[in-house]
Amino acid sequence: MNDVSADIRSYFRTLLFGNVTFNSANVEVSTKALPDTSYPYVVMKTAGMTDFRTKDKFGATYETTFEIVQRYEKNLGSQDDVDNISNQILGLVPREVENAFTSDTMYINKFTNARTIERDDEHHEYYSKFLTFETYVSEN
């Protein structure tokens, strides 16, 4: 079975593009945050490919993590914005998708965990929330 990580990222990017907003503006969803990226933003990473075999099929499991990042002036923010964006993503990602990429492959997304972290520097507070999905890919 081929590694379909790029197909999975493309699928999620297409699914989320223009559909995740903050204050009526689109939130950027990319695979890397650049220095000029505006807040809030979402970084998507696909990692890990674990092969599996059933009696008559081959397949693999992939993990895709979304990091939602927001920045505030010191003492002026909370995690509410990242929670709101997180809920938008959770509402957009289907739990079961058949034949999303090719006619002979099935994809199932399973939400596995979410965690929020907070950090700060002299002038800003940063809130990050991580959402992780497992995508099962099996040949039909």
47-104 pLDDT, tens per residue?
777 777 777 777 788 889 999 999 888 877 778 899 999 999 999 988 777 766 665 5
* Better pLDDT: 42 or 35: 42
Give the mean pLDDT of 41-50: 85
- In this predicted structure, what is the pLDDT of residue 74? 81
Give the mean pLDDT of 109-133: 84
Cross-strand pairs, 139: 105
Which CATH number describes the domain made up of 5-139?
A: 3.30.2000.30
DSSP states along the chain: ----HHHHHHHHHHHHTTT-EETTEEPEEESS--TTPPSSEEEEEEEEEEEEE-SS-EEEEEEEEEEEEEEEETTS--THHHHHHHHHHHHHS-S-EESSSSTTEEEEEEEEEEEEEEEE-SSEEEEEEEEEEEEEEEE-
Give the mean pLDDT of 121-132: 88
Boundaries of every domain in the chain = 5-139
Give the mean pLDDT of 101-112: 72
* Better pLDDT: 88 or 137: 88
Average pLDDT over all residues of the chain: 84
Q: How far is CA 70 from the centre of its chain?
A: 15
For the entire predicted model, the pTM comes to: 0.84
Cross-strand pairs, 21: 26
